[in-house]
Structure 1
Amino acid sequence: MSDTHESHERTEPAEGASAAVSVIMPMFNASDWLDECLQAILEQDFPDRMELSVYDDGSTDNSRELLERWRQRFEDRGLPILISGHSSPSPRGVGFAKNQAVRQSSGRFLCFQDADDIMRPQRVRLQYEAAAANPTAGWVCCFDLFHQFSASLMNKALISVLNQVYTSHGPTVIMPTWFCSRDWFEKVGPFNEGGKGVPEDLLFFYQSLRRGGHAIRVDECLLVYRYHEHAATHSVLEETIWSLRVHFLQERVLSQWESFTVWNAGKQGRRLYRSLSPTNQKKVKAFCDVDENKIQKGFYTYEDSKERPKPRIPVLHFTNASPPFIVCVKLDMTHGVLEGNLHSLQLKEGVHYYHFS
């Protein structure tokens, strides 16, 4: 690798060589996974012009050397491979690397791929077809193998993606499988380049929704998602994700409501209440629950409040509570009981309640 901080072998696509799809791959110390990842890209059955655009974010292993070994194999298949990066001792972060890979690419559509994941052969073709058939969609997503254990949860989450974006699982279900047009990427703006600890995917996802985007899903498992101790996702603190989710909930939902009920008088419900702005705390008219022990206490007192007297929020049985609700119960923890209770009240998701779990 070059001794200079910036090492760009090819930063701009050749004139007149525009691809239909650019596979966008940030890379940092990916040598353990790279061969499988690249072989899977090479085996795509997409019939149109495709290219791979990689930005190396200062890898200290032999990732760059491995990548160069694959260049000839890609070119023999008619797949251009664009490689650039830096050799600074400090990585600039996944958001920066993605932006650089997009910047040097030429494709009308962008297929985002992590260097430690594995595409199924039909991924690019099927997502391209879905995107071409739905030009007003913001992005196309699909199932990934890691999340198959919760397929029923994913199914519901993706059907109502605009309603369940405030949950911990909603955005993460589709992030590893993003596919969008270059026009849409440029409309939403580049990824946040704050570096380590910044959830650039989540921030981009929220900004996409602010711009009116929605998701189209290919109902097939098209990616093997690798979850390991060196994954970039581990650098993002849970508290950071929580704060962003609360902020987005307040911006998109609570700002439209005069009052609401928090469904769950337990730990998660109380945490949400404490995280709200003072204005939205005042909108909480009650907590509701099914736990008789919580209900019998009658009230939740916000002990940390600076107000005097301290706020005391009624705790009701859910059948005695009134919508709208923010539901702070995990969907996969009640074996259908929660869904049954919501259905019994004849409530419509996205109107009478939103999930925040």
Structure 2
Amino acid sequence: MTDVSIIIPVYNGEKWIDECLRAVRDQNFSGHLEVSIFNDGSTDGTLNKLEEWKEVLKQKSFSVIIGGHSSSPRGVGYAKNRAVEQSNGAYLCFQDIDDVMSPDRVSRQYQAAKSEPKSIIGSRFHREPEGSTERFTHWANNLTSSQLYSQIYTSHGPTLIMPTWFCHRAVFNKVGGFNEGGKGVPEDLIFFLQHLELGGGLYRVDADLLMYRYHPGATTFSISEDSIWRIRMEYVQKQVIEKWETFTIWNAGKQGRKFYRSLTTANQKKVAAFCDVDPKKIKCGVYTYHESKMNIKPTVPIVHFQSAKPPFIICMKLGLTGGEFEKNLESLNLKEGVDFFHFN
């Protein structure tokens, strides 16, 4: 059986193919590698370029499978699932056509996955052009092993970014594949949260194993913030808030209030208070939510963070206040993942 299948969905990726597959060819992995590519209705020269590379890779003893269709594109989730279905590897290494893996990516993640067979294995990465999404890159590359779990509800998405994923085939099969809703659906976030809900683990190889390209045509830009918000709200309520009797929302501003309005009615009743540092918001004393359909006006106290009681859902973005927010949070001596979760 093939040791590792490199799973590559592609749609109109002609200009990225050479760099991506050259890096695949140059892997220093000693086992048997397979490349499984699914062409999701490309209209450029993708297919011809893939056929050229098929011969190059076969000369390097790779097994190569190229599947696809010529109709309208059906989305990244669909293409990934088809690429997995046609593959044979015991382990799956997910690779986007516009990104470039380091020479030791497969070997490093393969060893980690053998030790963590029920986990999604990720890695550190760098962006190109250099300096793109600096705050996001710093966040993802510096999460602790416990924060890989406790910060899964943030707006950044999965704490292990999808282009670095590597796992045993059984991990993929247990979730049942990616959502095939098509354009605008965050299939990676849905898979990630389902994997965790089923008891799966997370592990990051602390080495930079991928160049993660930033460009306007990236699939991530087709996903609406509203879709991501709804999914995050569903899971944070199901996995965290439903287990709490009461809690505090940290941020009485726009994001905190949006979070409150997005809660179910039952979970809104659990909100003991909003907390903040802004004297104007605290002076208001309460936040009144007008529920016009039922003519109900729930009011929630607004207090200073030092007077608030944990647990907290924190609706503050990290790294935007010159460290003041982080100092305030640290002063309370709370345990992340128990006393508070980030939802920023």
Q: Same fold (TM over 0.5)?
A: yes
Q: Per-residue deviation at 1:190?
A: 1.1
What letter matches 2:240 in structure 1? V
Partner of 1:7: none
Pair 305,267 (structure 1): closer, same or farther in 2 beyond 3 Å: same
Question: C-alpha separation between the residues in 1 aligned to 2:296 and 2:60?
Answer: 73
- 2:74 maps to 1:92: yes
Q: Per-residue deviation at 1:345?
A: 1.2
1:193-226 Cα offsets, whole Å, 9 max, x none, are 1111111111100110011112111111111111
Question: C-alpha separation between the residues in 1 aligned to 2:288 and 2:227?
Answer: 26
- 2:27 maps to 1:44: yes
Q: How does 1:214-233 map to 2 (within 5 A)?
A: 214-233=201-220
What letter matches 2:121 in structure 1? V
- 2:245 maps to 1:250: no
Question: C-alpha separation between the residues in 2 aligned to 1:267 and 1:148?
Answer: 23
Question: C-alpha separation between the residues in 2 aligned to 1:110 and 1:122?
Answer: 15
Partner of 2:139: 153
SS in 2 for 1:217: strand
Partner of 2:124: 143
Q: How does 1:144-223 map to 2 (within 5 A)?
A: 144-146=125-127, 149-150=134-135, 152-154=138-140, 155-156=142-143, 159-171=146-158, 173-223=160-210
Q: Per-residue deviation at 1:158?
A: 5.2
The TM-score normalised by the length of structure 2 is 0.95
Q: Per-residue deviation at 1:340?
A: 2.0
SS in 2 for 1:342: helix
Partner of 2:266: 279
Question: C-alpha separation between the residues in 1 aligned to 2:166 and 2:133?
Answer: 20
Higher mean C-alpha deviation, range 319-328 or range 332-341: 332-341
Question: C-alpha separation between the residues in 2 aligned to 1:335 and 1:49?
Answer: 49
Question: C-alpha separation between the residues in 2 aligned to 1:229 and 1:106?
Answer: 33
Partner of 1:5: none
Q: How does 1:314-329 map to 2 (within 5 A)?
A: 314-329=301-316
Q: Per-residue deviation at 1:233?
A: 1.3
SS in 2 for 1:171: coil
Question: C-alpha separation between the residues in 2 aligned to 1:109 and 1:56?
Answer: 21
Q: Per-residue deviation at 1:133?
A: 2.0
SS in 2 for 1:300: strand
- 2:5 maps to 1:22: yes
Q: Check the 8 A contact 1:157/1:170 in 2, yes or no.
A: no
Return the match for 2:297 from 307, 310, 316. Answer: 310
Partner of 2:250: 263
Pair 305,203 (structure 1): closer, same or farther in 2 beyond 3 Å: same
Q: Per-residue deviation at 1:303?
A: 2.7
Q: What stretches of structure 1 of length at least 5 have no aligned partner? A: 1-17
Q: Check the 8 A contact 1:305/1:311 in 2, yes or no.
A: no
Question: C-alpha separation between the residues in 2 aligned to 1:319 and 1:74?
Answer: 61
Partner of 2:44: 61
Question: C-alpha separation between the residues in 1 aligned to 2:17 and 2:49?
Answer: 8
What letter matches 1:204 in structure 2? F
Q: Per-residue deviation at 1:280?
A: 0.7
Pair 145,337 (structure 1): closer, same or farther in 2 beyond 3 Å: same
Question: C-alpha separation between the residues in 2 aligned to 1:48 and 1:185?
Answer: 21
Pair 143,356 (structure 1): closer, same or farther in 2 beyond 3 Å: same
Return the match for 2:65 from 82, 91, 94. Answer: 82
Pair 94,170 (structure 1): closer, same or farther in 2 beyond 3 Å: closer
Question: C-alpha separation between the residues in 1 aligned to 2:247 and 2:171?
Answer: 35
Pair 204,144 (structure 1): closer, same or farther in 2 beyond 3 Å: same
Q: Check the 8 A contact 2:148/2:202 in 1, yes or no.
A: yes
Q: Check the 8 A contact 1:164/1:170 in 2, yes or no.
A: no
Q: Per-residue deviation at 1:32?
A: 1.3
Q: Check the 8 A contact 2:252/2:281 in 1, yes or no.
A: yes
Question: C-alpha separation between the residues in 1 aligned to 2:280 and 2:269?
Answer: 25
Q: Per-residue deviation at 1:51?
A: 0.8
SS in 1 for 2:121: strand
Question: C-alpha separation between the residues in 2 aligned to 1:327 and 1:115?
Answer: 36
The TM-score normalised by the length of structure 1 is 0.91
SS in 2 for 1:296: helix
Instruction: Determine what percentage of the aligned residue pairs are the same residue.
Output: 52
Q: Per-residue deviation at 1:304?
A: 4.2
